[in-house]
Amino acid sequence: MRAFAKPLAKLIEELTKMPGIGPKTGQRLAYYILQTSRENASKLAEAILEVKDKIHTCSTCNNFTDKDPCGICSDLSRDAATLAVVAEPRDVAAMERSGEFKGIYHVLQGLIAPMEGIGPEDLKIRELLERINTGIVKEVIIATNPNVEGEATAIYLSRLLKPMGVKVSRIASGIPFGGDLDYADEITINRAIEGRKEL
């Protein structure tokens, strides 16, 4: 495509390596960068490099952090007896946004997915068991997504964790708040019925 000058074509190429950024969006972002101030472009470039330089994973919970242990693991006001197991750092971010959960986290860095060749040994499960072994954690809330991999991982973990004497729970699955029965799929409706609570 000769329509773009070389540096512009290269920027579009780099942008479209990102997930969900197709050629159209890549082009739109490249034009934005071209037309924004030099200062704004520098800030973006610096933020990209800074994240690579300063962010690493917390040696305790495996969440992304710029210090070790991370802000959550080192926060004494949090309830260290309640540990939520999640697949990815973005799930920690999602739970923190809700503001409801006051416990600590363990990021597995993935889910068991035999089809993709990801087994338990590829996840941070050994590290989770070590944390449970210290005896501080009383309840493990398995907060993996309610899909095939998330469920399989939850079942696998609960079999490992229950014999260790901790309470193991699973986040509820059902109709989302503000959602509509009419638009929910059958599995979600079945989950909502199975998970019903007495009023």
Residues in contact with its own copies by CB under 8 A are 1-8, 10-11, 13-15, 17-21, 25, 27-34, 36, 38, 40-55, 64-67, 70-71, 88-90, 92-93, 95-97
CB of 165 to its own copies, least distance (A): 31
CB of 196 to its own copies, least distance (A): 31
Residue 155 has which token pair?
């079942």
Alpha helices for the chain (secondary structure H): 6-15, 23-35, 38-54, 89-98, 125-133, 148-161, 186-194
Closest CA to 141 of 191, 92, 176: 92
Nearer to its own copies, 44 or 155 (CB): 44
CB of 119 to its own copies, least distance (A): 20
Alpha helices for 55-113 (secondary structure H): 89-98
Whether the CB-CB separation of 132 and 125 falls below 8 Å is answered with: no
CB of 159 to its own copies, least distance (A): 30
CB of 54 to its own copies, least distance (A): 5
Whether the CB-CB separation of 171 and 103 falls below 8 Å is answered with: no
Nearer to its own copies, 40 or 190 (CB): 40
Nearer to its own copies, 46 or 79 (CB): 46
Nearer to its own copies, 90 or 167 (CB): 90
Nearer to its own copies, 71 or 135 (CB): 71
Closest CA to 157 of 187, 185, 137: 137
Phi and psi angles of residue 53, each rounded to the nearest 5 degrees, phi first? -80, -40
